[in-house]
Amino acid sequence: MRNLYLNTNELDKRCSDEFGLSEAILMENAASAIELEVRKLTKGVRVLAVCGSGNNGADAICALRKLAGDYECYALLVSKTQGVMSKYQLSVAKKVGVNLIEDFDGDLDKLGEFECIIDGIFGSGLKRQMSDEICALIDMLNAKNALKIAVDIPSGINQFGQINQNAFKADTTLTMGGLKLGLFLDEAKDFVGKIKVANLGVSRDKFERGSDVKLLEKSDLKLPFRNKANTNKGEFGHTFVMVGDMSGAAQIAGLSASAIGSGLVSLVSDKEIANLSPILMYKSSLNSAKVVIAGCGLGDKKLNLDELTDKICVIDADLCYKKEVIKLLANNENLVITPHPKEFASLLNLTNIENVSVSDVQKNRFELAKIWSQKFKNVLVLKGANTIIAQNGKLYVMSEGSPTLAKGGSGDVLAGVIAGLLAQGYSPLEAAISGTLAHGFAGAKFSKNSYALTPFDLIEEIKCL
């Protein structure tokens, strides 16, 4: 896991107070990271840095100074005033042949073509509306066929990851010192490109401090490998799936639980299930059940949720719209709930935590997930391009989501995978973490194209992790 920070101001201050690294040294190191990225990806091309008045712009100007001579470097200044560090970097950059563009008339085409564009207009501290001129400039930069590198965070994205107007669309974001939380809001995902952390002069171990928000990594995926030869199916748990109006969803969830290793899987219904897979068993009640999935394909069917109070549960889909689920959430801590944004908006409204729309959820995912997790002790899995797992005020971000997974039935697969891990003895948090990672990596492994993945393809990929 990696630490995520709303901002790294306190960490930067430690570099000065504890390690004696001046602002100038930190800037040199930041600029060296930008320089290295440009050199790795291009050779001897025309480079344009678009610079605001703050330290992001100064970082970009400093990087141009390091590239000048080997590259044809231009600095486009978008602010009439410059900060102290920007003024200093400009004075040095001029001496080594960096070309300054100070009287920009708004026509980017007049400047010719650039093979690399560095965005240093705004940082994560953006709080005000951008001018129409800056918005137009960002649109023009985005339209250019060039390698695009953002310094710290793409301009137009604030520290919370919100985009209130438009934003620079980077191929790579070089974030300074530590990973910023705002880079992982769903809204920002199409703008940040590949995220890399620039070392500012001290190791990650020395630079960082603990955080209640973590970014999940591949090493956090713990698959239920079987290392014991003398064993049987009963040792790997039994997953029960409550069947709703659409039994296909329950079957997908059940097959997914089996694919991740659940020893037995049963579908529970008050009537026979048509075309039941031979892998799955039919049960008429939850007698003997310990792990239960409820909500997948529920529709209008009524469930007796009192039966679930003492079960280990995964709650999904249509149950997120039912008032009865609130009592279950309050009384059962051994529970994972897996809403998508619309379902989460419903849950927030039902519980009187917030009166929100889906748009509100998407703009405030981290804050709302944290508030929810402080009210309910069970585990929240808020699905999205960057899925958020929350428990007891701590957040875990799974950034492996892809558009491949945007297909009906994908959520049923996730519910089944999490339940299958629960059946094998994982804690709710462990099952949520490994389940979402397995789901994300399985979607990424599908190599045919970005649109054709079905839930059954996803299950096959999960089997091969």
Q: Tens of pLDDT along 56-81?
A: 999 999 999 999 999 999 999 998 88
Which domain-ending residue is among 210, 231, 249?
Answer: 210
- The number of C-alpha atoms within 13 Å of 142 and in the hemisphere containing its C-beta is 17
| Residue 202 shares a structural domain with residue 240 | no
Say whether 57 counts as a known binding-site residue: yes
Cα–Cα dist 450/443, whole Å = 9
Cα–Cα dist 285/290, whole Å = 12
- Where does the pLDDT of residue 423 fall: very low under 50, low under 70, confident under 90, or very high at 90 and above? very high
| Residue 43 shares a structural domain with residue 74 | yes
Tokens matching residue 303:
């469930």
Instruction: Say if residues 235 and 198 touch (Cβ distance below 8 Å).
Output: no
| Residue 340 shares a structural domain with residue 201 | no
For residue 216, the model assigns a pLDDT of: 99
Which residue is associated with the tokens 């939850």? Answer: 286
| Residue 145 shares a structural domain with residue 252 | no
| Residue 75 shares a structural domain with residue 123 | yes
| Residue 387 shares a structural domain with residue 356 | yes
Residue 194 DSSP SS3: strand
- Low-confidence winner among 179-183, 300-304, 361-365 (lowest mean pLDDT): 300-304
Say whether 53 counts as a known binding-site residue: no
Say whether 70 counts as a known binding-site residue: no
Say whether 263 counts as a known binding-site residue: no
For residue 80, the model assigns a pLDDT of: 84
| Residue 338 shares a structural domain with residue 440 | yes
| Residue 279 shares a structural domain with residue 229 | yes
Q: Tens of pLDDT along 174-184?
A: 999 999 999 99
Q: What mean pLDDT is predicted for residues 40-63?
A: 95
Say whether 155 counts as a known binding-site residue: yes
**H/E element, 188:** none
Q: Tens of pLDDT along 148-165?
A: 999 999 999 999 999 999
Look at residues 111, 121, 131, 129 and name the one whose alpha carbon lies nearest to residue 47: 111
Say whether 123 counts as a known binding-site residue: yes
CATH number at residue 160: 3.40.50.10260
Say whether 162 counts as a known binding-site residue: no
Which domain-ending residue is among 210, 236, 262?
Answer: 210
Say whether 274 counts as a known binding-site residue: no
Greatest mean pLDDT range, 98-102, 120-124, 206-210, 395-399? 395-399
Say whether 12 counts as a known binding-site residue: no
Cα–Cα dist 112/338, whole Å = 50
Say whether 87 counts as a known binding-site residue: no
| Residue 450 shares a structural domain with residue 433 | yes
Whole-angstrom CA distances from 25 to 196, 287, 303 are: 20, 67, 63
Say whether 247 counts as a known binding-site residue: no
Tally the domains of the chain.
2
| Residue 376 shares a structural domain with residue 457 | yes
Cα–Cα dist 419/422, whole Å = 5
CATH number at residue 429: 3.40.1190.20
Which domain-ending residue is among 210, 230, 251?
Answer: 210
Say whether 449 counts as a known binding-site residue: no
| Residue 174 shares a structural domain with residue 85 | yes
Q: Number of helices (H) and strands (E), helices first, in the chain?
A: 15, 19
Cα–Cα dist 188/180, whole Å = 12
Say whether 205 counts as a known binding-site residue: no
Say whether 200 counts as a known binding-site residue: no
Which residue is associated with the tokens 């899925």? Answer: 387
Say whether 89 counts as a known binding-site residue: no
Q: What is the DSSP letter of 199?
A: P
| Residue 143 shares a structural domain with residue 225 | no
Residue 7 DSSP SS3: coil
Enclosing domain of residue 76: 2-210
Q: Tens of pLDDT along 169-218?
A: 999 999 999 999 999 999 999 999 999 999 999 998 889 899 999 999 99
Look at residues 378, 365, 440 and name the one whose alpha carbon lies nearest to residue 410: 440
Judge whether residue 47 has pLDDT over 90: yes
